[in-house]
Amino acid sequence: MGKEYRAKVFKSGNSVALRLPKELGLKDGDVMVLREEQGHFAFEPAPAKPGKIDVSGFWGKAPWLTVPPREDFDDPPRVWERKDRSDSE
């Protein structure tokens, strides 16, 4: 069993918070998972979110692909005025 710490619960807004000693090594903003089993509480760091895929290594893998110039995009002008219902009858 590890070291034992005492912590104090206090009111924070409409919630209660648990002040943890800095000796635990937690940083401000750390996300934790809290579990309650039969009146006993346990907490641990939340699993890290999977990182983003680094696609920088794909450059040059498909040299035939090019970025299309802006004029290749089909974006016709739109009519934003609403027609009166009497026009459609």
**How many domains does one find in the chain?**
1
Band of residue 13 on the pLDDT scale cut at 50, 70, 90: very high
Band of residue 15 on the pLDDT scale cut at 50, 70, 90: very high
Q: pTM value?
A: 0.45
Residue 14 lies in a domain: yes
Residue 87 lies in a domain: no
The Cα 17–Cα 34 span in angstroms is 12
Residue 13 lies in a domain: yes
Q: 32-52 pLDDT, tens per residue?
A: 999 999 999 888 999 988 888
- For residue 32, the enclosing domain spans 8-45
Distances (CA, A) of 76 to 5, 70, 72, 79: 67, 13, 12, 10
